[in-house]
Amino acid sequence: MTRRRRPRGLAARFFLAQAIVVGAGILAAVAVASLAGPPIFHEHLVMSGHAENSPEMLHVERAYVDAGLVVLGVALVTALVCATAVTAFFTRRLRRPLTALTEAARSMARGRSGTRVPDLGAGAEVDALAASFNTMADRLERTEELRRRMLSDLAHEMRTPISVLTVYCEALQDGVAHWDEATHELMTDQLGRLTRLVEDIHDVSRAEEGRIELDRTEQPAADLARAAAEAHREACAARGVRLVLDVDDDAGVVEVDRQRMGQVLDNLLSNALRHTPPGGEVRLRVARQGPGRVVLDVADTGEGIAAEHLPRVFERFWRGDSARDRDHGGSGIGLTISRALVEAHGGTLAVTSSGPGAGAVFTVELPARRRVGPSPADILG
């Protein structure tokens, strides 16, 4: 049976490196002293008046060589002792932070995502490694927290329609209920809710991974806003909410997938309507923002968003008031899909709010299509 070779530790590697450097230096010094030293010493003895090949000269030269070897031997031993001390010192200084990093990595591998590495003070490189480890740990912890919350919310979203479908199927099977228009409508609604949930999850995953194919065409930004407003006019009227369209016809042209950008505006308008009470107002505005940007924003006079909640608005399944939003029937990922779609078009989606009760403004910024030549209006004018 072949015995597995144990890998060398950090101290052994440092000592070996130091020993090789010291040994190589001593050997080089011995070689130089042995080859160049005696001839030079002999020449100086002759110049000082000693007879060539006299017994005294031979004795002195022999003494010189022996003394040189003794000195070099003592120097080698001294250098090795110093190398061992230096290696032990620096190994202890490096082993402590590296051991802390190793233990933290093992703890993370065991599923303890709250593990962090303290300030090690072991040099810029090790400190940078520790900082990178802590950043990675923070992201993993947030990802794990989001995954748990997403699975919990997903189970909650699916539980209600599945429970309703199960109860009605059992009632139909036992003859307690009968298939009529009301039963058909209820089951269709619950199946539609499950279907929308699955499609939303699929869309947001594809959008965030960059796997959505966009059929981009040049579209006037004003036309996109008018189409979205028209689609929501009846819903706003039924809820008693005033829908205001503020369009600048000179806002410009954007190169977008009309269907996907319509989906974004639909999500934003539906979200604004959901959180605006009767008598409130939802405003859709389109304007030019500088030479190369077009802004479409949806503002409402509804519930508003607390400052501490603003950074989490676009997270999957996040809700400021879970019970309230579930009653309204939102899946909790419409805004996540919207942001991913806007970013796929090279734009940005942001939210601002002055706080609860002050409404919210969702702002879409898209790159404007640059004109290659003069417009027909410029030619006619």
Residue 364 has a pLDDT of: 92
The answer to whether 375 touches 366, Cβ cutoff 8 Å, is no
> What are the structure tokens assigned to 359, written together?
């409404």
By percentage, how much of the chain surpasses pLDDT 70? 79
Q: Which residues contact 351 (CB under 8 A, 6 or more apart)?
A: 305, 310, 313, 314, 360, 361, 362, 363
pLDDT in tens, 201-226: 777 667 666 677 778 899 898 999 99
How far, in Å, CA of 288 to CA of 297, rounded? 11
The pLDDT mean for the chain works out to 77
| Exposed e or buried b per residue across 228-252, where buried means at least 16 C-beta atoms within 10 angstroms of its C-beta | bbeebeeebeebebebebebeeebb
pLDDT in tens, 95-115: 777 777 778 888 877 777 777
Residue 144 has a pLDDT of: 76
pLDDT in tens, 59-73: 776 777 777 777 777
Residue 321 has a pLDDT of: 52
- pLDDT: which is higher, 149 or 24: 24
pLDDT at position 330 over 70:
no
pLDDT at position 377 over 50:
no
Q: Do domains 124-208 and 217-367 have the same CATH topology?
A: no
Residue 127 has a pLDDT of: 75
Domain ranges, ordered by start, for the chain:
10-109, 124-208, 217-367
The answer to which of 13-17, 158-162, 239-243, 294-298 has the lowest mean pLDDT is 13-17
Residue 144: C-alpha distances to residues 110, 114, 151, 222, 373 (Å): 14, 11, 11, 41, 52
The verdict on domain 124-208 having CATH code 3.40.50.300 is no
The answer to which of 22-26, 43-47, 88-92 has the lowest mean pLDDT is 43-47
Q: What CATH homologous superfamily does 217-367 map to?
A: Histidine kinase-like ATPase, C-terminal domain (3.30.565.10)
